[in-house]
């Protein structure tokens, strides 16, 4: 059984259909890239999987480890092991990164029947993750994402992912707005977290990120449907030809 199974998913907002029948299977250990032009529905798909309530789901199904994902609240999805790295990480003034992450991690641990970590154990864990991801410890005491640069926000998402240790991580345009150094830093972080137990789905507009995080599968999303799936070479083809040939195909 696949870890994530999306079947004929249709969804929209305010009566406008955005996803017009998406099917996708992701197994543990796999890295998938979903590519597509602006407005193709990439971010909508990512947000629906994470549980954002702004969308109307009109048909199809999503199962995560055999459970009906669409029936779960966002926090229940996170506790089951789903993680979304936000395209636009949210600033939360007044809440420190440490306090936030400890609350998140302990909610997840409690759900899994594990002991909650005390302050000392938690600090040991996050320091270890920070070392692997080359993140400065000062970040811990800063309010969540407040005053962070674009690159810092994206790295903070990856840091959260490292601490929360999800089974499925969805990276929503984690490359957008990053210069090449920041992009490499983020990619190194993601690569360090690749494991046979974890699946990663990257949503991106450009092929650039895929030079650094090499996917096993590439799907091209356009006009609310996956138009084409293939291996990593499909990304290169897209880079060379642009999205127009896919969109033309759709028009026919």
Footprint of another protein (CB under 8 A): 50-53, 73-75, 77-79, 83-84, 86, 89-90, 92-95, 99-101, 103-105, 107-108, 111, 143, 160, 164
- Residue 110 CB, nearest approach to another protein (Å): 9
Q: Which is nearer to another protein, 23 or 106 (CB)?
A: 106
- Residue 108 CB, nearest approach to another protein (Å): 4
Q: Which is nearer to another protein, 86 or 243 (CB)?
A: 86
The sheet with strand 217-222 has its strands ordered as: 82-85, 168-172, 199-204, 31-35, 217-222, 225-230
As to burial, measured by CB atoms within 10 angstroms (0-12 exposed, 13-18 middle, 19+ buried), residue 154 is buried
Q: Which is nearer to another protein, 52 or 184 (CB)?
A: 52
Q: What are 187-196's contacts with CB under 8 Å, separation 24+? A: 187/212, 187/213, 188/133, 188/134, 188/212, 189/133, 189/155, 189/158, 189/159, 189/162, 190/158, 192/132, 192/133, 192/162, 193/158, 193/161, 193/162, 193/169, 194/31, 195/29, 196/28, 196/29
Q: Which residues pair with 17 in a beta bridge?
A: 12
Q: Which is nearer to another protein, 164 or 235 (CB)?
A: 164
- Residue 231 CB, nearest approach to another protein (Å): 31
- Residue 230 CB, nearest approach to another protein (Å): 30
Q: Which is nearer to another protein, 84 or 213 (CB)?
A: 84
- Residue 65 CB, nearest approach to another protein (Å): 16
């Amino acid at each position: 059984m696949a870890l994530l199974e999306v079947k004929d998913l249709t969804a929209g907002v305010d009566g406008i259909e955005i996803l017009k029948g998406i099917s996708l299977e992701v197994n543990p250990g796999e890295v998938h890239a979903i590519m597509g032009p602006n407005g193709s529905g990439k971010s909508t798909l990512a947000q629906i999987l994470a549980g954002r309530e702004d969308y109307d789901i009109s048909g199809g199904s999503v199962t995560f480890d055999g459970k009906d994902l669409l029936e779960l609240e966002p926090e229940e999805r996170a506790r089951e092991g789903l993680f979304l790295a936000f395209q636009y990480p949210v600033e939360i003034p007044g809440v420190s990164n440490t306090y936030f992450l400890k609350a998140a991690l302990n909610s997840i641990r409690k759900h899994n029947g594990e002991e909650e970590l005390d302050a000392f154990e938690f600090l040991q864990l996050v320091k270890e993750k920070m070392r692997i991801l080359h993140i400065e410890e000062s970040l811990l005491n800063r309010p969540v994402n407040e005053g962070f640069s674009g690159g810092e926000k994206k790295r903070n998402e990856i840091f959260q992912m490292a601490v929360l240790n999800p089974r499925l991580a969805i990276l929503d345009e984690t490359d957008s707005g990053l210069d090449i150094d920041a992009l490499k830093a983020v990619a190194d972080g993601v690569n360090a977290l690749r494991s046979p137990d974890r699946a990663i789905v990257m949503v991106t507009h450009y092929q650039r990120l895929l030079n650094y995080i090499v996917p096993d599968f590439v799907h091209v999303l356009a006009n609310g449907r996956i138009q084409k799936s293939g291996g990593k070479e499909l990304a290169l083809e897209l880079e060379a030809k642009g999205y127009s040939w896919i969109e033309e195909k759709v028009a026919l």
